[in-house]
């Protein structure tokens, strides 16, 4: 479902719509009423024509969600609201985030303690990837299998819509939903996940749609901050690197705005500064922010230093600026030395910039030791420090995805 990510399971006679239940009102991707109207009537027609072939539980769910479209209720713990799809980070408010993080924490226990959980035994997930993203795919597939579920894999979904076998995304979804219980989709087009969720009668998780959203990355970033620092209210976060083009840091800034007394520092080369829309949004939400070009000074004050990659092509002809930027915003031992004891370094990974990689490729007989000497945006000598949180952050992606699969398939 596009405009109602949550629906109520029929546990209470009346639907509650408490204050602040505006899941989508701060969405960056508001669609016109025209669009929604057509989508919804389309979905309804589709639903009606197919009701005869649905199980009772499926039918209930659909009627329920049709109802929810108008009321736009939010999640209330204890009221057994059902998470239907995961399309964008903005669909979650802080209560839902908090509830998801609790489940993620339970997943940590399951993954570490119990060999062979059977929680999702008998459930089937399809990873429908229109472009390869091995890291994200393996993380989702591991999550499903750690819970006893099974997986259908394709990194070749583009074949569905190839010239020879032309097919709309909608038709592909209606076919694939017949084979599986949940679809995890990676697509090259912004908005593709929403279209898939609109069409599907089973849950859809957006595993990245082009320059659009990558909500599970956003969730795992916030979860990591909570896990590492112990809180989200009152934290100080330094966002470092290419802030203009980074989907990750933009999503993170948006989600942080849901918490109180947050302070954000933007540390970036002039050419790739954080854009105005985010700054205005933060201001409107009462989040303090500051721009700085002094990484060490910021690092000394922050709970989290969130580093991202800097890409040469963003600098166009100005390779001089690029070279300057590369050298200036590196997290190394010197930066670590000024950081507080409880603070952490995060990175969405992979951490190397292209030039460093090119440089390493040219070397023969290279060793981890050698690589640590080479300049990267986080130098390898940082890895040994307990404050280097980026591999734990990647692992948290597993727990977040386990939690979402559990919630989408079994409910709270």
Q: Shortest approach of its own copies to residue 344 CB, angstroms?
A: 12
Q: Pick the closest to residue 10 from 61, 66, 85, 84 (CA basis).
A: 61
Residues in binding contact with its own copies, number by CB under 8 A: 85
Q: Shortest approach of its own copies to residue 117 CB, angstroms?
A: 8
Q: Half-sphere exposure (CA, 13 Å, Cβ side) for 365?
A: 0
CA angle 406, 409, 412 (to 5 degrees): 60
Task: Name the pairing type of β-strands 150-154 and 124-129.
Answer: parallel
- Decide if residue 179 touches its own copies (CB under 8 A): yes
- Decide if residue 66 touches its own copies (CB under 8 A): no
- Decide if residue 356 touches its own copies (CB under 8 A): yes
- Decide if residue 124 touches its own copies (CB under 8 A): yes
**Rounded distance between C-alpha atoms, residue 137 and residue 17, angstroms:** 36
- Decide if residue 388 touches its own copies (CB under 8 A): yes
The piece of 10-18, 114-122, 217-225, 319-327 that touches its own copies (CB under 8 A) is 114-122
CA 167, 170, 171, 177 dihedral sign is: positive
- Decide if residue 178 touches its own copies (CB under 8 A): yes
Report whether 256 contacts 26 (CB < 8 A). Answer: no
Tokens 């600026």 correspond to 321
Judged by CB under 8 A, the chain residues 20 through 49 that form the site for its own copies are 35, 38-39, 42, 45-46, 48-49
Q: Shortest approach of its own copies to residue 253 CB, angstroms?
A: 23
Judged by CB under 8 A, the chain residues 128 through 167 that form the site for its own copies are 132-135, 137-139, 141-142, 145-146, 150, 152-157, 159-161, 163-167
How many helices and strands (H and E) does the chain possess?
15, 11
- Decide if residue 61 touches its own copies (CB under 8 A): no
Which member of 66, 285, 372, 412 binds its own copies (CB under 8 A)? 372
- Decide if residue 332 touches its own copies (CB under 8 A): no
SS (H, E, C) 149-182: CEEEEECCHHHHHCCCCCCCHHHHHHHHCCCCCE
**Rounded distance between C-alpha atoms, residue 371 and residue 107, angstroms:** 34
- Decide if residue 385 touches its own copies (CB under 8 A): yes
- Decide if residue 367 touches its own copies (CB under 8 A): yes
Which residues on neighbouring strands pair with residue 185, listed in sequence order? 128, 206
- Decide if residue 362 touches its own copies (CB under 8 A): no
- Decide if residue 394 touches its own copies (CB under 8 A): yes
**Rounded distance between C-alpha atoms, residue 21 and residue 74, angstroms:** 5
Q: In this complex, which beta carbon is closest to its own copies, that of residue 44 or of residue 231?
A: 44
What is the set of active-site residues?
Answer: 135-136, 165, 186, 214
What Rg do the C-alpha atoms of the chain give, in angstroms? 22
């Amino acid at each position: 479902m596009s405009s109602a990510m949550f629906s109520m399971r029929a546990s209470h006679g009346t639907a509650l719509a408490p204050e602040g239940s505006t899941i989508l009102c701060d969405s960056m991707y508001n669609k016109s009423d025209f669009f929604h109207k057509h989508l919804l009537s389309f979905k309804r027609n589709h639903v009606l024509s197919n009701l005869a072939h649905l199980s009772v539980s499926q039918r209930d769910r659909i009627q329920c969600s049709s109802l929810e479209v108008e009321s736009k209720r939010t999640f209330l713990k204890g009221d057994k609201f059902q998470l239907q799809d995961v399309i964008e980070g903005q669909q979650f408010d802080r209560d839902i985030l908090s509830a998801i993080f609790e489940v993620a924490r339970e997943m940590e226990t399951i993954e570490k303690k119990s060999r062979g959980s059977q929680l999702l035994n008998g459930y089937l997930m399809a990873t429908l990837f229109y472009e390869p993203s091995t890291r994200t795919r393996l993380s989702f597939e591991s999550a499903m299998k750690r819970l006893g579920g099974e997986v259908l894999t394709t990194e070749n979904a583009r074949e569905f819509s190839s010239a020879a076998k032309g097919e709309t995304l909608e038709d592909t979804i209606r076919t694939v939903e017949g084979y599986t219980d949940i679809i995890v989709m990676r697509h090259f087009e912004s908005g593709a996940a929403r279209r898939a969720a609109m069409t599907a009668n089973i849950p859809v998780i957006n595993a990245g749609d082009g320059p659009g959203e990558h909500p599970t990355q956003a969730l795992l970033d916030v979860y990591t901050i909570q896990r590492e620092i112990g809180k989200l209210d009152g934290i100080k976060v330094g966002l470092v690197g290419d802030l203009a083009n980074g989907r990750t840091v933009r999503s993170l800034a948006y989600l942080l705005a849901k918490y109180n007394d947050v302070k954000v520092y933007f540390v970036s080369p002039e050419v790739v500064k954080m854009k105005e829309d985010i700054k205005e949004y933060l201001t409107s939400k009462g989040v303090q922010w500051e721009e700085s070009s002094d990484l060490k000074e910021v690092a000394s004050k922050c709970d989290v230093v969130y580093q991202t990659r800097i890409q040469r092509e963003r600098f166009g002809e100005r390779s001089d600026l690029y070279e300057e930027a590369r050298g200036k915003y590196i997290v190394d031992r010197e930066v670590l030395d000024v950081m507080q004891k409880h603070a952490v370094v995060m990175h969405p990974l992979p951490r190397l910039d292209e030039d460093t990689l090119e440089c390493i490729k040219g070397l023969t007989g290279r060793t981890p030791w050698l690589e640590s000497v080479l300049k990267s945006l986080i130098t390898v000598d940082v890895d040994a420090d307990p404050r280097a949180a980026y591999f734990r952050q990647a692992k948290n992606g597993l727990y977040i995805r386990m939690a979402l699969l559990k919630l989408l398939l079994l409910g709270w």
